[in-house]
Structure 1
Amino acid sequence: MDLLFEAIDEDMPGAKWRRVFDRHWHAYSRWFIRDGIRSRPTYLASLRALRTHMPELLPAYEAIVAVAGDGDLEARFLSMWCPPVYVGGCSQAIIGGDKPALIRNYDYSPRLLEGTWMASRFNGKRVVAVVDCLWGVLDGVNEDGLCVSLSFGGRTAAGDGFGIPIVLRYVLEFATNTAEAVAILKRVPVHMSYSVALLDRAGHYATVYVNPDRPAEVLERRVSTNHQHGVEWARHAQTTRSVEREAALEKVVALKHDPDKVLGSFLRPPVYQTSYGRGYGTLYTAFYQPEDASVELIWPTARWRQSCADFTEDARTILFNDGDSAGFARPFKHGVTPQ
């Protein structure tokens, strides 16, 4: 299995973003209406939700809908209001000390990852993020040094709310620090359960448990995997080794305050996973440093660095091996045959 990662730099949605849209829209539109088009909220309901909960994001939303063609279905999808349910993996750790960092593994199926790494300035603030649902955020950093990432919360509860990627987009566009990000996460409704890791340039951090059926909870936790206070979805936790991953990271974070030393645990089992065929393989490790608003995407054999101040467009194909051992990715520049 292979996956194209593409880094694009576009301040406002334009021709580059439209190419991403054209590449993925067929698959996204089928997923969005998989339960029937009437199962999704109307455009007016979606617009009303945005106006109520994230009004500052409306100009960017309208701009990106226009580039997508101003269609009704496209507008409903891009609002991310009450999307279909979906689950994933992921591990996160916040490291303190002299060089604070946020490290995360994104665990999912390579067939379902968009693979877009985007630098933008939708609202005047530079944001660099790995994108989901065409403009939402899986993890990212803004020019203020605020870093954010998500992991699935391990609960089957679902309700009226936004898909978490657009909420994290909102956080990076308008928050400057962890406290402001927490305030947003406490008031914006989400449709499923997630654990959101936050770290800012001053070293302030938080893990926020957001849920559709209970208030957001803010904790001084440095590690999160795919359960919150305890395992509520036993089958998912067992399949993704959520408890084992949490224990491994808790141990290393408690003993080591050097981000580079903690990083090694993300590149080894049980934190690094290779069950790509089952949808729980590690597709990339992201290493965020708020001091210089930088991020590296990392695989066991390569590192790819970007920052808000220095972002270079590029494309790389990542190869994945399915299995329970040595399923490492081999990155190489797109169009170049690997040796």
Structure 2
Amino acid sequence: MLWRAISEASPGPKWSGLFAEYWPDYKRWWLKEGESARPTYAESRRALNDHMPEIVPLYDELCELAGGGDLAARFLSFYCPPPYLAGCSQAIWTGKEPVMVRNYDYNPNAFDSLVLHTTWQGRRVMGTSDGLWGMVDGVNDAGLAISLTFGGRRIVGTGFGVPLILRYVLQTCETTEQAGAVLARVPTHMSYNVTVLDRKRNYLTAMMAPDRPAVLTHAAVATNHQENVEWVSHARFTATVERERFLLQRLSLHRDPEEKFIAAFLRPPLYSTAFSAGFGTLYTAVYRPRLREMELRWPGTVWPMSMENFVEGGRRVQIPGAA
């Protein structure tokens, strides 16, 4: 898998080039249930204006760079997208220098494999891209880190794809408290667990859903269920309960040192190579929000990145089990 790290302070030719490259595949995905299944441009923009008004000017700018087309603008709103599933494990190691660690388990053929470093609307953000402006994990210049896991429920409702919600949090929030308020009010189209850690060591996990209010918890661990397992076959397939229990033991009973805790994410039961069944672990990410640093890790490889000294480049990495 070829990974790229790209920096562009304001939306411009680099982002426009990325959109042109990725749009054919995203367009097929966006239309896989038929165009009529997706909201209109007017509905999408109205929803953004109602729930995330601060980033509407940025959205308009990106739509223009994408060519100003109707379908592209509807896609970039991330409003009521097609359903999609991921695995994932994430946890907060609460040592002297707290870190957020996560595994992203997904289909390698439906993934950007892209780290974006931006200063859109004056806010520096660095993280793993999804949908070319959404994020599946990231950190901002205020020292706020965020990450998501799928919540293990079948229900699809009216709301936004969660990667855009993560971008919105990183663009507009500086503390865990502020992030929690956003996660409690912005509607999501599927169930997700979103974990946040700020520079003052405060953290939370929001259990978001399209059909019930978000639950804000002080959980340091999130896998692929919420308060109870509701989708039994998915829970069994992903071993979500076993992974949660394993991480809780690492944080409490055994109290692993930082490096040992991080290394556990690159081994079973957290690390998955089940790509033939749909998805496996594409990468492990480590965030140090106070330092505004991140690392991408694979077995035998570490790619460190710093918000202050971000270096563009690429890495070709071998993903065990992925064709």
What is the TM-score of this pair, normalised by structure 1?
Answer: 0.93
1:259 aligns with 2:245: no
What is the rounded CA distance, in whole Å, between the counterparts of 2:164 and 2:100 in structure 1?
Answer: 20
Q: What is the deviation of 1:248?
A: 1.0
Helix, strand or coil for the counterpart of 2:3?
strand
Percentage of matched positions with identical amino acids: 47
1:222-279 CA distance string (max 9 Å, x none): 1110011121111111111111111111110113263222112101101011112222
1:163-190 CA distance string (max 9 Å, x none): 0000000000010010000010011000
Q: What is the CA RMSD across the aligned residues, in angstroms?
A: 1.2
Show the 5 A alignment for 1:126-137. 126-137=124-135
What is the rounded CA distance, in whole Å, between the counterparts of 1:94 and 1:137 in structure 2?
Answer: 18
- State which of 161, 164, 183 in structure 2 corresponds to 1:163: 161
1:335 is matched with: none
CA contact (8 A) 1:99 1:258 kept: no
1:298 is matched with: 297
Show the 5 A alignment for 1:1-339. 3-254=1-252, 255-256=254-255, 258-322=257-321
What is the rounded CA distance, in whole Å, between the counterparts of 1:69 and 1:20 in structure 2?
Answer: 13
What is the rounded CA distance, in whole Å, between the counterparts of 1:50 and 1:178 in structure 2?
Answer: 22
CA contact (8 A) 2:298 2:319 kept: no
Q: Which runs of 4+ in 1 moved over 4 A?
A: none
Q: What is the deviation of 1:89?
A: 0.4
Helix, strand or coil for the counterpart of 2:200?
coil
What is the rounded CA distance, in whole Å, between the counterparts of 1:279 and 1:318 in structure 2?
Answer: 20
What is the rounded CA distance, in whole Å, between the counterparts of 2:289 and 2:276 in structure 1?
Answer: 34
What is the rounded CA distance, in whole Å, between the counterparts of 2:242 and 2:309 in structure 1?
Answer: 37
Give the residue type in structure 2 aligned to 1:107: D
What is the rounded CA distance, in whole Å, between the counterparts of 1:104 and 1:170 in structure 2?
Answer: 20
Helix, strand or coil for the counterpart of 1:291?
coil
Aligned residue pairs, count: 322
What is the rounded CA distance, in whole Å, between the counterparts of 2:300 and 2:191 in structure 1?
Answer: 33
CA contact (8 A) 1:161 1:190 kept: yes
Q: What is the deviation of 1:314?
A: 0.5
Give the residue type in structure 1 aligned to 2:166: L
Structure 1 residues without counterparts, runs of 5 or longer: 330-339
Helix, strand or coil for the counterpart of 1:212?
coil
Helix, strand or coil for the counterpart of 2:281?
strand
What is the rounded CA distance, in whole Å, between the counterparts of 1:256 and 1:80 in structure 2?
Answer: 39
What is the rounded CA distance, in whole Å, between the counterparts of 2:17 and 2:317 in structure 1?
Answer: 20
What is the rounded CA distance, in whole Å, between the counterparts of 2:99 and 2:258 in structure 1?
Answer: 6
Give the residue type in structure 2 aligned to 1:296: E
What is the rounded CA distance, in whole Å, between the counterparts of 1:256 and 1:245 in structure 2?
Answer: 16
Helix, strand or coil for the counterpart of 1:172?
helix
What is the rounded CA distance, in whole Å, between the counterparts of 2:4 and 2:207 in structure 1?
Answer: 30
Give the residue type in structure 2 aligned to 1:268: R
CA contact (8 A) 1:97 1:257 kept: no
